[in-house]
Amino acid sequence: MTWRGALEMVRRTMTAVGRAQTGLYPIEGFRLHERALRAGLTFELTIWTEATAQDNTPRGQQLRADLQSAAGQLVIIPDVEMQSLVNGRDLGHLISLVKMPPAPDLKTLVTGVPQPLLLVATDVVDPGNVGAMVRTGHANGLTAFITMGVSDPFHPKAVRTSMGSLFKTAVCHYPALIPLVDHLRQLGVATVGTVAETGVPLPKAAFAGRGTAVFMGNEYHGLPEHIITQLDQQVTIPMAAGIDSLSVNAATAVVLYEIRRRQIT
């Protein structure tokens, strides 16, 4: 493959349409590649600059050796073209394309797990927030990350922000609420929605021992009413006077930590 062809392929995967068409998503930088390799991922295509390909530091030599066995194609592109892709980020001039993972079966994921913990991102717009939520969920022992609407954990920014947690997190997608809620009820998983006010104060909330799915809403509007009314419980995080909400990832961290704390104490 020519460097122009490789560059075009990578550029395609920078868009949701391109990712859907190719079945591939991009990862960028040394650290993400190292974590992807440790997670057992292989790469369909890797582009790098000549300087990166000839990096003779111990880290560069190890990464080069690993890539030569894990990458389907290795293509050197001009430095100026790489600069146009990374937009000033200094993560390591190295981008690979990874196959989108097959959609896992939710029943299989929760079967045998004593207290499955699921996180549902509902129309979370900023991919940086989505990636941060994946990382937060991974740190709290998440069983699966579920997306609805525009939430996209495979957006390049989300992948970077997840810091490799995406490679170790099961990701499911449901196009609509009712099939998801029905499926969760069939599996005996309780549903909890976060609301800015009127919910049960988080310290007083009771979480079912059979497992919990936490629904987090859009950064600007939260969970829509038609979703809230379908859930088993609504919780509110107590905050100081004059503050009406946390960032979506901060709220995710607080709620998941509280559930996790109760599970291990």
Q: What is the pLDDT of residue 125?
A: 95
Q: pLDDT at position 162, please?
A: 97
Tell me the domains of the chain and their CATH numbers.
3-99 (3.30.1330.30), 106-264 (3.40.1280.10)
CA quadruple 95, 96, 100, 101: dihedral sign: negative
Q: What is the pLDDT of residue 193?
A: 94
Identify which of 144, 161, 169 has the alpha carbon closest to the alpha carbon of residue 31: 161
Find where tokens 């929760």 sit.
Answer: 110
User: What b/e string do you get for 185-213 counting C-beta neighbours within 10 Å, with b at 16 or more?
Assistant: eebebbbbbbbbeebeebeebebeeebbb
pLDDT mean for each 10 residues of the chain (265 residues): 94 96 96 95 93 90 88 91 92 94 93 93 96 97 95 97 96 92 93 90 86 93 91 91 83 94 79
CA dist 215 and 121 (Å) reads 6
Residue 213 has what pLDDT?
96
What confidence score (pLDDT) does residue 184 get?
A: 94
pTM: 0.93
Rounded distance, CA 94 to CA 48, Å? 5
pLDDT at 1: 85
pLDDT, position 241: 77
First vs last C-alpha separation in the chain? 55
The rounded distance, in Å, linking the Cα atoms of 68 and 134 is 29
Q: Where are the beta strands (DSSP E) in the chain?
A: 24-28, 45-48, 74-76, 94-99, 117-122, 144-148, 171-173, 190-194, 200-201, 212-216, 233-236
